[in-house]
Amino acid sequence: MLDIKLIRQNPEAIKKKIKTKEASVEAAIDTVLSLDSQIREIKTKVEHLKSARNEMSDQIGLLKRKGEDTSVLLTKVSGLGEEIHHLDHALTPLEEEFTHVLAGIPNLPMDDIKVSECPKDNVQIKEYLQKPVFTFSTKNHVELNEKLQLFDFKRGAKISGTGWPVYRGMGARLEWALINYMIETHIKNGFEQWIPPILVRKETVFGSGQLPKFENQQFKINDEDYHLYLIPTAEVPLNGLHADEVLDEEELPLKYIAYTPCFRREAGAAGSNERGLIRMHQFNKVEMFCFTTPEDSMQLFDQMMASAEEVLQGLELHYRNMLLVTGDMSFASARTIDIEVWLPGQDRYYEVSSVSNCTDYQARRSSTRFKKKGGRPEFVHTLNGSGLATSRLMVALLENNQQPDGSVKIPLVLQKYLGGVTHLTPKD
């Protein structure tokens, strides 16, 4: 969440910033300031009443020691207690509404981010290799799969519905090879591996910024015993690892990775170009997540970008880095760069990694702080990045490495995980 002190100091400047990211939320600034004013007024009144009650209680003690009548003061103290109780009762719904409204305001974009609502205005800041040139008629990954038999979309739909694929044979092995290759790359680059739960509490989902705004995009379990959410990304449990903790500055930065399946309600059918593995309800991802000081967060951002890019460079895939405009950034992010690979079968680029600096936005929601020697606790900065999502990466591997005979060349870095297999070959 944003710092309410920052909003109080310059509400118009905050409104201007928020408008560049999500114009519909601008009015929430006035609402949250009004609620903040009411809450502070009630709290001030309660403090005065408690002070008065304490003074009267001291007077009652003196009168009792002198053996004098205390009935009048006792009546007044009782009346003050009832008034305090009434104000405390009125404060609870105001504080709940305040938190709800403040939680619905996105993070502020950094000053150098281009202002636009249109993703077409995203700024290309890097390109690696060139688009592959084919001398034969190419196929998309769904067409290639008809002979390669790497996935079974029909049986996946039979088991769970559209958007839940089944990996089989070499498809399952190649998926696992990708995951292992990515984990090894990030560990080499100083990240510590975790295996978090994929079902988490509501408070954990809130802490990462997924709630309340994205409630309708989550899969969840609600019964008499469990009220848990399936994670949309490992960012959610990794962010929650240090909730309500105060870390020592010497511990930072903390650089974590985790492989998990991810679950999202987003539509699985948006036209023929998004069939197959392009957009699914369940997919695999290796996630990078960092906790650091505000002074070092941009340095960590660059390290995460480099580690994600190293994965793609090892796979010899053409990609581009796009600095997102204000209106295309994620809710909790202050700065985001998407890494997009070229998918020949779709004739367009698709994001396979998104690296974001969330500054102290998530830390405020999760109450994750650090302390410098002799200093007071302050909020950490959190950063997250796909390192990477495998589904579209699988598509990129298949479509960019396809051969005239329908086989697919396996990148050298993956062959050791597949027992030396160099090509996926069509089955009769």
CB 284 within 8 A of CB 175: yes
Residue 89: Cβ within 10 Å count: 9
Active site residue: 354, 356, 386, 391, which one?
354
Region 371-399 average pLDDT: 95
> What does the pLDDT look like over 309-366, one tens digit per residue?
999 999 999 999 999 999 999 999 999 999 999 999 999 999 999 999 999 999 999 9
State phi, psi for 335 to the nearest 5 degrees: -160, 130
Q: Give me the chain's average pLDDT, please.
A: 93
Distance (Å, rounded) from C-alpha 368 to C-alpha 362? 8
**Residue 125 gets which letter from DSSP?**
E
Whether the CB-CB separation of 307 and 288 falls below 8 Å is answered with yes
Catalytic: 65? no
173 given a catalytic annotation: no
Both tokens of 173, joined, read 């092995």
Identify the CATH class of 119-424.
alpha beta
pTM of the model: 0.92
Query: For the segment 192-211, what is each residue's pLDDT rounded down to a tens digit?
Result: 999 999 999 999 999 999 99
Q: What are phi and psi of 77, to 5 degrees?
A: -60, -40
- Say how far apart CA 208 and CA 315 lie, in whole Å: 31
Structure tokens, 197? 């739960």
Q: Which residue has the tokens 């392009």?
A: 278
Distance CA 184, CA 186 (A): 6
Q: Which residue ranges make up each domain of the chain?
A: 4-103, 119-424
Spot the catalytic one: 264, 275, 364, 369.
264
Q: Is the pLDDT of residue 150 over 80?
A: yes
**β-strands 348-357, 369-371 pairing:** unpaired
Alpha carbon distance 135, 144 (integer Å): 17
The one catalytic residue among 175, 353, 392, 399: 392
What would the pLDDT profile of 3-45 be if each residue is shown by its tens digit?
999 999 999 999 999 999 988 888 899 999 999 999 999 999 9
Size (the chain), residues: 428
What pLDDT, on a 0 to 100 scale, did the predictor assign at position 268? Answer: 40
The catalytic residue among 351, 367, 378, 407 is: 351
Beta-carbon count within 10 A of 92 CB: 9
Q: Does the active-site annotation cover 376? A: no
Q: What is the pLDDT of residues 354-377, one digit of tens each?
A: 999 999 999 999 999 999 988 999
The rounded distance, in Å, linking the Cα atoms of 263 and 257 is 18
Q: Please determine, looking at this structure, whether the domain spanning 4-103 carries the CATH number 1.10.287.40.
A: yes
Which among 53, 275, 279, 369 is annotated as catalytic? 279
Residue 386, classed as helix, strand or coil, is strand
